[in-house]
Amino acid sequence: MKVRTVTRPVLSALAAGALFMPITQVAHADDVVPAQVFTNPLTVSASGTFSFTTNPGILTTWESAGISVIGIAPGSVITSSQSLNARITLPVVAKTGTANAMAGGFRLLNSETGVSVRCQVPTVDTRARLVECILADGTRDTFFVITEIAQKLRVVEGTEATSFFRGIDLSLTDASSASKLNRALDTNVFSASVSVARGEMEVTRVIPSP
């Protein structure tokens, strides 16, 4: 997909859209960004947000089995008033090529057993089309695959460039990963055959000097 590059005037129009959503901070002891995020010499600091909302029927199915979504600060989870969907919002902190690192994360909790699966410090790679997470045991694994990015836009203002990604469709990697998640949480509600969520991402970085 071709990426359009525009200048500042477009940004004011975008600011009125759904791309800019409020972030509700959630206090949590894991409000840290692992040092390894910045060890790659090609990694640069970045800012912005990655937000995604569960698709219709997903949250209600999870909750019927006692599965809830909880934010890991500085990430947050906002559930709609009728618990029809959940919106996860994570701050962008670094960028390495097309891989964008977040702070915080989220976890899926079985409220009946107390067992949870964590997705901490996610990395969203728009070229590889995947979302990787650091799991509870410290290993990194793919949590979601990106099946579609509906729109890409790049805005340049002075020494900064901001990339916008809209219509990011997320699904579980495959049947094996869905089964692994079901076993870990003692349930059967996860499936790779359905789209889990749809989101958007905004990433701002300083343009390197020539």
Task: Give the pLDDT confidence of 121-145 residue by residue, as tens digits.
Answer: 999 999 999 999 999 999 999 999 9
**The residue to which tokens 């219709």 are assigned:** 56
Closest CA to 93 of 108, 111, 74: 74
DSSP string, 82-103: TSS-EEEEEEEEEEETTEEEES
Regions of the chain where pLDDT drops below 70: 1-39, 41
Within a domain: 125: yes
CB of 150 closer than 8 Å to CB of 165 = no
* Helix H or strand E encompassing 14: helix 9-15
The pLDDT value given to residue 55:
97
Domain residue limits at 46:
4-201
Report the alpha-carbon distance of residue 146 to residue 98 in Å, rounded: 13
The pLDDT value given to residue 49:
98
Within a domain: 208: no
- The amino acid that residue 29 corresponds to is A
What is the number of structural domains in the chain? 1
The values of phi and psi at residue 62, to 5°, are -60, -45
Within a domain: 207: no
Residue 159, classified by CB atoms within 10 Å of its CB into exposed (0-12), middle (13-18) or buried (19+), is: exposed
* Helix H or strand E encompassing 125: strand 116-125
Within a domain: 95: yes
Report the alpha-carbon distance of residue 94 to residue 205 in Å, rounded: 9
Within a domain: 206: no
Report the alpha-carbon distance of residue 74 to residue 31 in Å, rounded: 6
Within a domain: 209: no
The pLDDT value given to residue 7:
44
CB of 120 closer than 8 Å to CB of 134 = yes
| pLDDT 10s digits, 145-178 | 999 999 999 999 999 999 999 999 999 999 999 9
The pLDDT value given to residue 39:
60
Relative to beta strand 140-157, strand 4-7 is parallel
Considering the entire predicted model, what is its pTM? Answer: 0.81
CB of 90 closer than 8 Å to CB of 134 = no
Within a domain: 210: no
